Amino acid sequence: MDFEYLFELLCGGVVKGSIYALIALGYTMVYGIIQLINFAHGEIYMVGAFVALIITGILTLSGYSDSGLSVLVLAAVIAVIYAAAYGYTLEKIAYRPLRNAPRLSPLISAIGASIFLMNYVQLVQTPDFLPFPELVPEFEFMEPLSRFVSSVDMVILVVTALTMVALTVLIKYTKIGKAMRATQQDMVMARLVGINVDRVISATFIIGSVLAAIAGVLIASRTGQINSAIGFMAGIKAFTAAVLGGIGNIPGAVLGAMVLGIAETFGAGYISSAYEDVFAFGLLVLILILRPAGLLGKAVKQKV
Amino acid sequence: MLEVRNIQTYYGNIQALKSVSLTINEGEIVTLIGANGAGKSTTLMSICGVTPPRHGQILFRGEPIQHLSAEQIVSQGIIQVPEGRHIFPQMSVIENLEMGAYLRNDRAGIKADIDDVFGRFPILEKRRNQAGGTLSGGEQQMLAISRALLARPSLLLLDEPSLGLAPLIIKQIFEIIKQINAESNTTVFLVEQNANQALKIAHRGYVMENGAITMEDRAENLLSNEEVKKAYLGM
């Protein structure tokens, strides 16, 4: 057995999983609170990538000539702010008016919002693929590892890890994080202790969108090209990851994403890369048969 | 302190409260008794702004509050312990208590109040890091009441605090309600099916039937009222 190859695939899988995880978190957090699959979430990720592309373009044209990495950081920050505004507005326009409607209505609205955003970007930008500049330099210290992880991959891994830590701290210790957990566990009681549930839901959409935009910028600088349709597949995959881990469960989304990413690269590397998506969705079907609640989808038993 | 005037509350097209009026004076324990489905819980949820009334007025200290949002009503000091306790199941006992103080910002005061409820309920201190959902029914009720106290209520609304608990614990809970009322001068509005116990600790009582108040009197009079005895006290 070729262990070097195996390790290479594993690294590739984890990198892929990181991107899925960043997007899947948005799905799972929103679902946890309002039991809605936000199908427009993939589009937020795409918008994030586009904003970053536009900003890098402007920076390059205006002769802002620092290192590529600082351009990337600046572009990412602006992309994140834009995406947060998109997420907030999306919730306000497409979901809040349907808060007390039957569950199917917001779902349809979500699909509509997804189609709208995709076409909107297609219209104001272009349906073609656009090249995304290579902004991450080749780090010298990565030389010995370059067979397994490229410099871009390293940036993805580090940024994802930092984002996860930040998210964990936010949810565990901050006031808004506690309010989010309380709302998720018991919305009526959350209102009875004085939590403004609408504000919590807005915050959830904003946080999810921020994560998706980070993922969008990262993936764009890895693949080197984006178009208005990239949100669709990424969204479906991340949704799969969230279901795989147990929808509504935050650690589950990360675990599901890693499992999905690794399954995909292993399937592609050992069997055939043409069937990459088959491995992803085949795995989903398998999990849904064997563990319908997902890998970690099991609530603490409550005594009544 | 609280004056409810002819409120009517609907769930969709179904009218749950036909015309409910009641008054609660500062420092009192007032109880609302009635059968299942009479509209007792809906009355509380209407006061708290969770299911706002479609018609009628609710005055708190003379100001109308029926149009305020649930969190604005909480900030006025009207705190409910809902039926079924509604503990946040995956949050620890400490976190549940902290949620009770969600609208407060005085860290030191919150800490002192937590120590205070631990003094009142030592079992909660023992379970401080345990998930709320794993507590027994009686412990959960204690936690639910403690969480409400962390909000420093001026008016405490309790919905069926004795539901599903063992007789000994029920006695303890009623004792605690009396204490809270006496010690911290908290006005208490107690909704109960356990009419006998509720009327014993209350100053005044209301009887509710089919979404309307049918009787109102001093608690001791209701306890000896023949109709009440037959319908709610099983005598």
ipTM of this complex prediction, to 2 decimal places: 0.92
Split into its structural domains, chain B has a count of 1
Taking CA atoms, what residue in A is nearest to B136? Answer: A303
Residues of A in contact with B103 (CB under 8 A): 193-194
Whether residue B59 contacts residue B50, with contact meaning beta carbons closer than 8 Å, is answered with no
**Domain assignment of residue A240, yes or no:** no
pLDDT of residue A66: 67
What mean pLDDT, rounded, does chain A reach?
90
How much is the pLDDT for B2?
94
Are B100 and A193 a contacting pair at CB < 8 A? yes
- The predicted pLDDT at position A200 comes to 96
B3-32 tens-digit pLDDT: 999 999 999 889 999 999 999 999 999 999
Is residue A249 included in any domain, yes or no? Answer: no
Tell if the CB–CB gap between A178 and B74 is shorter than 8 Å.
no
Ranges of chain B with pLDDT below 50: none
Q: Is the pLDDT of residue A64 over 80?
A: no
What range defines the domain where residue B200 resides? 2-233
pLDDT in tens, A190-209: 999 999 999 999 999 999 99
Sequence-ordered alpha helix ranges (H) in A62-196? 68-90, 104-124, 151-173, 175-185, 187-192
The 3-state DSSP composition of chain A as helix, strand, coil percent (nearest 5) reads: 75, 0, 20
Contacts of B71 in chain A (CB under 8 A): 191, 194-196
Q: What is the mean pLDDT of residues A33-37?
A: 90
Cα distance between residue A191 and residue A179, in whole Å: 10
CATH code for position B22: 3.40.50.300
Across-strand partners of A304? none
Mutate to test the interface with B, among A193, A196, A201, A300 (most CBs of B within 10 A): A193
Does the pLDDT value for residue A300 go beyond 50? Answer: no
Q: What is the pLDDT of residues A145-179, one digit of tens each?
A: 777 888 899 999 999 999 999 999 999 999 999 99
Integer CA distances (angstroms), B77 to B3, B22, B73, B80, in order: 15, 19, 7, 10
Q: Chain B residues within 8 A (CB-CB) of chain A?
A: 48-50, 69-71, 74-75, 79-80, 82, 84, 86-91, 95, 98-100, 102-103, 131, 133-137, 140, 147, 151, 164
Residue A224 within a domain: yes
Q: Do B90 and A178 touch (CB under 8 A)?
A: no
Beta-carbon contacts of residue B14 (< 8 Å; ≥ 6 apart): none
Q: Are B77 and B187 in contact (CB under 8 A)?
A: no
Its domain, for residue A158, covers 21-135+150-230
| Alpha helix (H) residue ranges in A135-268 | 151-173, 175-185, 187-192, 197-223, 230-245, 250-266
CA dist A49 and A80 (Å) reads 10
Is residue A206 domain-resident?
A: yes
pLDDT in tens, B45-73: 999 999 999 999 999 999 999 999 999 99
In this predicted model, which residue has the larger pLDDT, A162 or A1?
A: A162
Confidence band for A3, pLDDT divided at 50, 70 and 90? confident
> Average pLDDT for residues A266-277, to the nearest whole number?
89
How far is it between the farthest Cα atoms of chain A? 65
Considering only CB atoms, which chain A residues are within 8 Å of B70?
Answer: 191-192, 194
Q: Chain A partners of B75 at a C-beta cutoff of 8 Å?
A: 194
What is the number of domains present in chain A? 1
Give A196 to chain B, closest Cα distance, Å: 6
Measure in Å the smallest separation between the Cα of B171 and chain A Cα atoms.
Answer: 19
Read off the pLDDT of residues A91-128 as tens digits, 9 standing for 90 and up. 999 999 998 889 899 999 999 999 999 999 999 988 89
Shortest distance, CA B138 to any CA of chain A (angstroms): 10
Query: What are A's interface residues with B at a Cβ cutoff of 8 A?
Result: 175, 178-179, 181-182, 185-186, 188-196, 299-304
In chain B, how many H helices and how many E strands?
Answer: 10, 10
From B91, B102, B134, residue closest to A185, measured CB to CB: B91
Domain presence at residue A11: no
- Detail the DSSP E strand segments found in B25-151: 29-34, 55-60, 63-64, 78-81
Q: Which of the residue ranges A12-21, A67-76, B79-88, B170-179 would you say has the lowest mean pLDDT? A: A67-76
Cα–Cα dist A70/A111, whole Å: 36
Residue A289: inside a domain, yes or no?
Answer: no
Whether residue A54 contacts residue A278, with contact meaning beta carbons closer than 8 Å, is answered with: no
Integer Cα distance of B26 and A150 in angstroms: 71
Confidence bin at A273 (pLDDT 50/70/90): confident
